[in-house]
Amino acid sequence: MQFTATQIAFMINGKVEGNADVAVASFGKIEEAVAGQLSFLANPKYEEYIYTTGASIVIVNDTLELKQKVNASLIRVPDAYSAFAALLSKYQEILSQQMVGIQEPSYISKTAKLGEKIFVGAFAYIGEQVVIGNHVKIYPQVFLGDNVKVDDNCTLLPGVRIYHDCVIGKNVTIHAGSVIGSDGFGFAPQADGSFKKVPQMGNVVIEDNVEIGSNATIDRATIGSTIIRSGAKLDNLIQVAHNVEVGQNTVIAAQAGVSGSTKIGSNVMIGGQAGIVGHIQIADGSKINAQSGVSKSIKIPNSAVTGSPAFDYTSALRSQAISRKLPDLEKRILELENLIRQLLGEKV
């Protein structure tokens, strides 16, 4: 597909500067782009490339002041990065609209209810009483267990597994290999030292506008629901245990783990490889630094913590600054001790 500068400017509410009829058919990084490609400039560190890029069209900020002539047509917008992201989303939407129909071989239960204009890839499995909304994209080898509900405009990438009774809201994207609704880690210790499995009878509820990365695992609740609230974004390789609640617009980076029954508030930011123990609460707006180990509740909203065990971020930075000075402090203490001995007439 080709788009002219005029068409692109219309889609992102920009203003064309240069040849409005030039067309592009693909995207490229500003330092590597060639003719026929569209790029963007948002970071001032890359400004030098605006004068040498081979891109036919470049999206730039309104505030950019050119120091010399450029060959590309420019589309000026208030925020080049956001405009480029919006354009990519629209482009992806156009491509996805072309994917409609059911590929073979695939298994779809006769009791399943399918919405309009859906896509089902080869080797997908759709179980009993499954309900699928409109404009849903189900890629090859996706498994939907019995009684699963998937609402409108969802995208399930290859190899996604959604176990029985789980509920997926509107506009949800789940990337390849993720498992939704596997059993929670529930085992009761016995008198003989063995462990007896506790049946996991609940489900997982994922609300609207959530995105979940590749190879993430969200366990079903023992009783009730594990809940991912609307707007949350989970990176790749994340573990969310049984009965956890993740609040609205919370973001969790890769390799983080959340233990069972923990309640995470809204607008929380959790760094990569952070670990959170079970049965605690994380207040709204909290920020948890990468590789932190959170062992108790964070009760004050908008707090920032780091370390393992995690504690106040500012205090942690002060401690780190002091620890770097310890060798010098030790030297000074020894000098003071020697001075005291001299004043007392002792031999040094």
pLDDT tens across 298-323, in order? 999 999 999 887 768 787 777 777 88
Give me the phi and psi of 130, to 5 degrees please.
-70, 140
Number of H helices and E strands in the chain, helices first, is 4, 40
Determine whether 242 is an active site residue.
yes
Those residues with Cβ within 8 angstroms of residue 191's Cβ, 6 or more apart along the chain or in another chain: none
Exactly one of 164, 175, 242, 279 is catalytic; which is it? 242
Residue with tokens 């000074």: 332
73-120 pLDDT tens trace: 999 999 999 999 999 988 887 777 778 999 999 999 999 999 999 999
Whether 345 shows a pLDDT value over 90: the answer reads no
What's the whole-model pTM score? 0.79
The reported pLDDT for the residue numbered 348 is: 59
**Who's near 347: CB < 8 A, 6+ residues apart?**
341
Per residue, the 3-state secondary structure of 3-39, as one string, reads: EEHHHHHHHHCCEEECCCCCEECEECCCCCCCCCEEE
Query: Cα–Cα distance between 344 and 348 in angstroms, integer?
Result: 10
Closest to 78 (Cα-Cα) out of 8, 4, 9, 14: 14
pLDDT in tens, 233-256: 999 999 999 999 999 999 999 999
| pLDDT > 70: percent of the chain | 99
CA distances from 26 to 3, 89, 123 (A): 9, 14, 31
Residues with Cβ within 8 Å of 315's Cβ and at least 6 positions away in sequence, in order, are none
